Amino acid sequence: METLEAKLGYHFKDRALLENALTHSSYANENRGALGSNERLEFLGDSVLGMVTADFLFKEHPDLPEGDLTRTRAALVCEESLVEVADLLDLGAYLKLGRGEEAGGGRERPSIRADAVEAVLAAVYLDGGLVEARKIIQRFILDKETEKSASRDYKTTLQELVQRESGQVLTYRLTGESGPDHAKVFSVEVDLNGQKVGEGTGHSKKEAEQMAARAAIARLDQ
């Protein structure tokens, strides 16, 4: 457990919370006298993760409309994202599984590992409060997404997406400028076959186009 705590960057005052977070229902059902399953913690962790992520996106992207915020949050807290966190923590190695689940490859099952991440977040929240839970979510999910976004060419990705069908035409249109010259903000709209599919803002036209493309990807790639 100490190794896992080191990876998390958090040491529990009540380590039983962490043990509970790693206990799958299959183990709890086979060992009635042991800790209960992590399902209740998973429920709480899902809410903590969603709230922290929503708060981050709301403050970090004041230009994004509600629909885009919702889609971005969904991408950040999806099973695939949580499995990436589980892999970074090697969480599967610490899970307590029932014999049948163990034999069936439960340690590698994406849904089990993703649920365990949510349960661990809840355990941290209960043990150390929202500030500590937020630190872990920031480090393992939000910062990683920021790094990905910084290196991602959304315009190219959008072009590749729409080219799945022939005859698709993308156009970017500057829709506004605001602010002083040293801190100007540009607004751009991207249209697909003449219909708006995304909009974004940035401190350069290029950045605004990238943000518009990002919004369009979130809308179209569903």
154-220: CATH number: 3.30.160.20
**pLDDT attached to residue 222:** 62
Is residue 115 annotated as part of the catalytic site, yes or no? Answer: no
What CATH architecture is 2-151?
Orthogonal Bundle (1.10)
* All CATH 3.30.160.20 domain ranges in the chain, comma separated: 154-220
* All CATH 1.10.1520.10 domain ranges in the chain, comma separated: 2-151
- Residue 175: what residue type? T
- Other residues' Cβ atoms within 10 Å of the Cβ of residue 80: 9
118, 189, 199, 209: which is the annotated catalytic residue?
A: 118
**pLDDT attached to residue 15:** 95
46, 84, 191, 207: which is the annotated catalytic residue?
A: 46
- pLDDT string in tens for the chain (222-residue length): 889 999 999 999 999 999 999 999 999 988 876 678 999 999 999 999 999 999 998 988 787 778 878 888 888 898 988 999 999 999 999 999 999 999 998 899 999 999 999 999 999 999 999 999 999 999 999 987 765 555 567 888 899 889 888 889 999 999 999 888 777 889 999 999 999 999 998 888 888 898 899 899 988 876
Three-state SS at 222: coil
Cβ within 8 Å of residue 19, ≥6 positions away: 1, 35, 96
Is residue 79 annotated as part of the catalytic site, yes or no? Answer: no
Sheet holding 170-178, edge to edge: 170-178, 185-192, 195-202
d(CA 152, CA 146) in angstroms, rounded, equals: 10
**pLDDT attached to residue 64:** 74
- Other residues' Cβ atoms within 10 Å of the Cβ of residue 145: 17
**pLDDT attached to residue 147:** 58
Cβ within 8 Å of residue 88, ≥6 positions away: 7, 140
Cβ within 8 Å of residue 220, ≥6 positions away: 158, 161, 162, 192, 197
Paired strand residues for 176: 187
